[in-house]
Amino acid sequence: MITVDHSAALLEVRGLRKSFAGVKALQGVDLTVRAGEVHCVLGQNGAGKSTLIKTLSGAYQPDSGAIFWQGEPVTIGGPVAALQLGIATMYQELDVVDGLTIAENVFLGHEQATGGLLHVASANARTQEILARLGHSEISPRTEVGQLSAANKQIVSMARALSRDTKLIIMDEPSAVLDSHEVENLFRVVEELTMQGIAVVYISHRLAEIRRIGDRITVIKDGKTMATGLSVADTPTPDLIRLMTGHEVANVFPTAGPVPADAPVVLSCDALGVRGIFRNVSLEVRAGEIVGFAGLVGSGRSEILEAIYGARRSTSGTVTVNGTVLRPGSVDAAVRAGIGLSPEERKSQGLILDEPIFKNVTLSSFARFARGGFLREGTEREAAREQIEALELRPADPDLATRSLSGGNQQKILLARWLVHGTAVLLLDEPTRGVDVGARAEIYALIRRLAAAGTAIIVVSSEIDEVLGLADRVLVISDGDVLTTTNSSEIDEPGVLDLVMRGSAA
Amino acid sequence: MSEQITQAAPPAPAGVDAPPGVIKRMLGGSAGRNLGLVIALAVLIAVGAITAGDRFASLDNVITIIRFASIIGVISIGMTFVITAGGIDLSVGSVMGLSTVVASLAAVQLASTQTSWLLMVVIALAVGTLAGFVNGIVIAYGKVVAFMATLAMLVGARGLAELISNRSTQIVNNQDFLGFFRSDLLGLPILIWIFLVVAIAGWIVLNRTTFGRRTVAVGGNPEASRLAGIKVKRHMVYIYMIAGLTSGVAAVMMLGRTTAGTATHGTLYELDAIAAVVVGGTLLIGGRGTIVGTVLGVLIFSTLTNVFTQNNLSTSVQNVAKGVIIVAAVLLQQRFASRGSRGK
């Protein structure tokens, strides 16, 4: 469908490596992008997609490896250098300035001016031209960007790329912020761009989209290219999923017997909903049971947890813990009823990084250790030390600043917090994000142990194999709807992806 | 946090080897920061003693310096709580002015029954606390940025004080009240005793109570605190009420010292208080607060003023010096902050 010369390699990346403080984010990425193609980069969360993007856009410098641009070896020293080469990036969080007009945004950083005076009229006229090229001649370049929808902000971001001599546009999950009809428009624009010979690197984990607009695919996993230059038309979905997930990963999930049928129901949600986000979620979790939520980012899975916890006010339905109906929108009520949450963003939502470990462990319970309002730090420290030992948290010094710990150990602090507090229900949002493989197995074993001790647990993760491996039962969620509830042994990862993609396409 | 001071083992006697780790930890922690402030204060004292001689280095002058620091000091203790919790209160000075006006008017109106001066004290404290309550509600529940909410209170309270007082000064002539503030206790003026009591109470609350722990937690990471079950909004209201209460205490001290209530009392005190707190080592972004540092910060500024006055230098020169000290202290603080974030 594209007539531009396909053989010329516009961008070639060989053996790209990048580490952060010992964590290997990229460990050998190869990628060849031709002019005028839509090249899809596929990979799970944490596979290294964002690091790759940031390296190509000049935000990070690679540790080793080579980048060739139109056949010449280049170093991309910074964002400006990338733009000068002709590489523009559209980030997921759109980097537009709300208070400026479209034209001002488009020419931000390379304003047309003489002696400091802006050529407003010519900037507006050129922006109008570019918008027309993108099929949006109806939008005025004088419109303030803050008034635009997410889809139109994306258009502004693309117009900005076109205002320079751009040959390659990297799009990081561009459809994540769009409705389905807006996605159609995005695809049209992408086709326009490629017709003009511009290459698009399209990052997404929605296979359906890739099938629709992609030409070739590169799959990365754990910072390595698993396969590159696969033809979209000729590669079956199961092959892609196998490359993305890699079944050679050893089974790190602890096995557990079935939950006894007479185990009491600890948590139940009845037709729970938050207007505009998710609706009609009903579920029961019994003592000792682990229930998993599987779904994509933005499916509503984290919001359901927040509503159960009272961190987000539900607009319909009820949450009941051990027979007590909780007041909507009250974290305090949830905590008192015995719910604990380990939030999605460990650092920004879970921990006080400059405070010592023990104070983070007792953050929910320090008042209980106190007498008449006076803290008893000795007792607190002892309680924390017990959990540090039980969870094998390292280093085992309760007075150490929390910031210095690894992701896995920081996660253990959050588990310890609720163990000290004592909970009947534990909500775990992305319990292994940023946790390395070895520590993951430990966290999994801990979660299973907590369940065995009678805690009712809900696990949310964007890694579907994690949800399936850990949970007894799974709710598949898409666009705020529970598509199905099933035993985790009765569904596999392709099955979940298939459901989600059909669900989100509908 | 400043509690390491008391938690650390009693200082090893000179000559005995202390483990190097302990010394390092003390220097890196709050004790080290306070040591820096003590050194700064010592340098100022040395400069004063050299340039002004006995006029500076007399017991009377030392008492004058601390007495001068006491009113702003009390306000700064309240400010330490606000800033530690991640907030700011620009209204403390004008709330103090409003409290002096309302309390002195009440005293004049109620004539001189024997108990009226106690009532005057209660009214001053109540006015301050009420203003703080309003600040807290507007900030925590109205979600107005603290800077703007308290800026509005700064302007509004000053205007209200002018309206109520009709821009005139009310003289307090209750002799019991004035006599109390003129008296000494163990050789120290009452103003200094009040400052001391407020500072100690503030230290205990911030470092030894659940309230203090919540304050540091809320300032360090409000979202994590909320998700851990702390009632963050309610706590912020309490925090601004504390700032208002200390403004009320300062108003009583001001009435005792000047014998008059007027709408202009406390002008620009908010800036002096914020400067003392930040120079003292409390992080402006919240999450770490030190009462000891604040007291040292207040004393540094008050000593500076005294040294300059003794040498007949103008207040303009003083203000330039103050500005330089504030910038230097914040620069130092950032160095410490970035070192701290890399872990011990």
Q: Are B269 and B243 in contact (CB under 8 A)?
A: no
Same domain, A355 and A216: no
Residue A251 lies in a domain: no
pLDDT value, residue A161: 85
Same domain, A45 and A136: yes
Cα angle A240-A244-A204, degrees, rounded to a multiple of 5: 85
CA distance A51 to chain B (A): 23
pLDDT in tens, chain B (344 residues): 333 333 333 333 333 344 445 555 444 555 667 788 888 889 889 989 898 888 888 888 999 999 999 999 999 999 999 999 999 999 999 999 999 999 998 887 776 555 678 889 999 999 999 999 999 999 999 999 999 999 999 999 999 999 999 888 888 888 888 889 888 888 899 999 999 999 999 999 999 999 999 999 999 999 999 999 999 999 999 999 999 999 999 999 999 999 899 999 999 999 999 999 999 989 889 999 999 999 999 999 999 999 988 888 888 988 898 899 888 877 876 676 555 443 33
pLDDT value, residue A326: 95
B27-341 is a CATH 1.10.287 domain = no
pLDDT value, residue B242: 98
B1 → chain A, closest CA residue: A355
Find the CB nearest A354 among B213, B227, B288: B288
A399 → chain B, closest CA residue: B344
Residue A1 lies in a domain: no
State the Cα–Cα distance between residues B320 and B323, nearest whole angstrom.
5
pLDDT value, residue A360: 96
B209 → chain A, closest CA residue: A374
CA distance B18 to chain A (A): 19
Q: Which residues contact A224 (CB under 8 A, 6 or more apart)?
A: A27, A28, A29, A48
Give me the DSSP letters along B138-187: HHHTT---HHHHHHHHHHHHHHHHHHHHTT-PEEP--HHHHHHHH-EETT
CATH of the domain at A32: 3.40.50.300
Nearest by Cα to A495 from A468, A470, A471? A468
Same domain, A274 and A395: no
Same domain, A143 and A84: yes
Residue A171 lies in a domain: yes
Per residue in A66-117, pLDDT (tens digit) is 999 998 899 998 888 998 899 998 887 677 888 889 998 898 888 877 777 8
User: Is B8 at the interface with chain A, CB within 8 A?
Assistant: no
pLDDT value, residue B112: 55
SS3 A288: coil
Same domain, A402 and A437: no
Same domain, A185 and A45: yes
Residue A2 lies in a domain: no
Same domain, A238 and A363: no
pLDDT value, residue A95: 79
A336 → chain B, closest CA residue: B229
Same domain, A67 and A172: yes
> Residue B344 gets which letter from DSSP?
-
Residues of chain A with pLDDT under 50: 1-6, 248-250, 505-506
In whole angstroms, how far apart are CA B239 and each of A394, B82, B204, B250, B327? 36, 6, 15, 17, 27
Residue A254 lies in a domain: no
**CB-based contact B212 A375, cutoff 8 Å:** yes
Backbone angles phi, psi at A265, to 5 degrees: -75, 125
Nearest by Cα to B72 from B265, B330, B212? B265
Nearest by Cα to A256 from A473, A422, A24, A496? A473
Residue A343 lies in a domain: no
Same domain, A417 and A465: no
SS3 A313: coil
Residue A360 lies in a domain: yes
Same domain, A103 and A206: yes
Domain range holding A211? 9-245
* Binding-site residues on chain A for chain B (CB distance < 8 A): 309, 311, 331-332, 334-336, 341, 343, 348-355, 359, 363-364, 366-367, 370, 373-375, 400-401, 403-404, 417
Same domain, A131 and A177: yes
**CB-based contact B227 A403, cutoff 8 Å:** no
Q: Which residues contact A83 (CB under 8 A, 6 or more apart)?
A: A164, A166
Same domain, A98 and A153: yes
State the Cα–Cα distance between residues A10 and A168, nearest whole angstrom.
8
Number of domains in chain A: 3
